[in-house]
Structure 1
Amino acid sequence: MNSESFLQYRDGQLYMESISLNSIAEQVETPFYCYSAAAIKARIGDCKSAFESIGATIHYAVKANSNLAVLRLMAEAGLGADIVSEGELARALKAGIPPQDIIFSGVGKRTSELLAALDAGIFQFNLESIPELERLADLCESRGRTANVSIRINPEVDAATHRHITTAVRGSKFGIPFSQLELALERIVRSDSLRLHGLAVHLGSQIVTLEPYEKACRRLREWVIELRDKGYPITHLDLGGGFGIDYGDGRCLAYGAVAAVIDRELRNLGVAIAVEPGRSLVATAGVLVSEVVYRKEVEPVPFLILDAGMNDLLRPALYQASHQLLTLKQSDEAREICNVVGPICESSDSFLQQASLPRVNSGERVALLQAGAYGAVMASGYNSRDVIPEVMITGDQYGLIRRRISHRDLMEYENFA
């Protein structure tokens, strides 16, 4: 389900659910993020319908959007969590996600983070290097604890996505290379404090074709059979996430299609399956609301300079990503070609180049769509700007789920002699 189902023009105004975004902007200074609770719940429902039908457990990738109000929706729906830091662990637990439904991923887990997760009693650690394995084993032995572990194996499958979000090719920092797999497994089975679950993979992010999943599942099937023949008890496969959403080019990956591939390729293998969707659950449910500070008339095309910048939404600068734009006030103006940029002193602070839009003037407001994932969580105070607020809409009500963190607030954390 697309965010557009919850984002419609009514009486010339852009509404999310039952509230006009302009009415919120009158109360909450732009720029701000705004999410539809109904859109998130609908995506959760679609996801559960697809993956629970094949017996897979679902662990929301917290890094996509870690706001406590968003995490609470995941907890209420019975989803687990995939975390990559102690902070995300604390957030997941505070939101009500049980520790026994939490998987700890990530390549650089610090000692303090491993201990926090051990103390919490999480479901599984996805180990990504031999040194990490050794450190966890030592901590468990010193604490008299036992940890469930899976080895994140690098399957060397190119998901053909942006190079910054490709994680499963040779030379990637992620996962243990196949050449080291048996060494890792042997160390685990010899340990009295590590309990082997199985293997984990994550192919990348924003994947819009099934082929990478087909290749990975086939390789995993071969490896499970081979490793079992060698005496390693593989009972669990964590297949990660990366399910792409439509950013306006019509390309996306349906949950049902991925579930069908998993079911076909891994059927009768006798393993429990976990998946870790993140972006696909929240991206289409969010928008970034901004105001045009200036309309700058230059050749060859005018600039619309927004009050939102790359510090608020980093994806276009970091990934060359494109977000669709709608005006908050419906317009009958003839379309024109323009550039949409932010105020940051960086040439990469650009949202849309050569975009076809109705004429937009200074003081008018716009919404950048598909901004519910990797938006607010990547925001910063660069250029000593405020960290902008987040709003959640539920029906005809809205609430501030993160207040604005002003540049004055940020200075309170600093000191000088």
Structure 2
Amino acid sequence: MQQKFSQLIDQMQDDIVQVRRHLHMHPELSFQETKTVQYIKDFYDALQIEYQHPIGQNGLVARLKGAKPGKTIALRADFDALPLQDEKDDAPYQSTVPNVMHACGHDGHTSTLLHIAKALHALKDELAGEFVFIHQHAEEMAPGGAIEMVRAGVLDDVDEVYATHLWAVNETGTIECRKGAIMAAADHFLIHVQGHGGHGSAPHLSKDALVIASTLVVQMQQVVSRSVNPLQPAVVTFGKIESGDAFNIIADSAHIEGTVRTFDPETQKLVKQSMARICEAFGDMYECTITLEYRDGYPAVINHDEGVDIVEQATHDLGLNYVECEPYTGGEDFAYFLQEKPGAIFFTGAAIEGRPEYPHHHPKFDIDEQSLINAAKMLGTIAIERAASK
């Protein structure tokens, strides 16, 4: 059965690429993906596969039953884009939407899942079990679409759930996965320093918010180096600081933004508490007001051991190269699905040979489109095998 499925995917290769390119040319931002969802609806309508929409704000779920009893296996793909200007000037499928592009591979995820559904539909009279195709909105913007869809019950009757992420910095033909934590919790923080502005010639009459904020950023580098167990990975990154109006005016206020990445909930809690203590202490020391707004993002993505074993076996069955990867500090709201049901997410290598590596979220991001075929075969093979398993 897996061989028949793979042959169907090979026959669909041109269509898979064409759909990915169409979606790449017409990207939509998180929570705004109306045309993308309509495209997905039209695809399923043509196949006469039933679906539900909306689930959460904009999610869609299609279902397909095989002719024989078996497990219910869910596959998930996200479909939102990013607020970036596409700079692939030499690509005929460059984004047609100013300042919006698919810079993370979600167009490829969507095309892959649609054609998995099409291939399984062609084989439904020979298949066991049931297949759930989860098309998720808004992965790129917390609180994200996954938690909405989980709360709406899309996994209630599902036995296992799987996903892949096209990975443009890994060699095409490789599949990366690992047991346990594979991606980090991704949090967002904002710090506001309210000092007392004044003339640049008289700093002693002011509370310089810019200097206070700068010192605060330096001090907080010690949260990881001196507060966190070195065996528990953590990242505190300050990505933005805004302060001041003119060269000769002492800043009245300052705004700082950044992100925290952790894999362990206790480490996440420790970092949050340490940052709060430093803000409070600095407020007392400099006689100013410092407020910390800490926004919990997606939790860490924790793969289930058996799910990873299944991914590894499918990789070998398809003649691809399996690599046990280190954890990535990027975030992914597929975490919410894996909190509910067993399964795994894996990375499908998608680097274009001979081309400079442009990472995810880069304006020149692109993929080797052979990776779409590898991803489709991986997910489809896993779904067929697991649906028929005892």
Same fold? TM cut 0.5: no
Compute the TM-score of the two structures, normalised by the length of structure 2. 0.29
Higher strand share: 2
- Higher RCO, Cα 8 Å, sep 6+: 2
Compute the TM-score of the two structures, normalised by the length of structure 1. 0.28
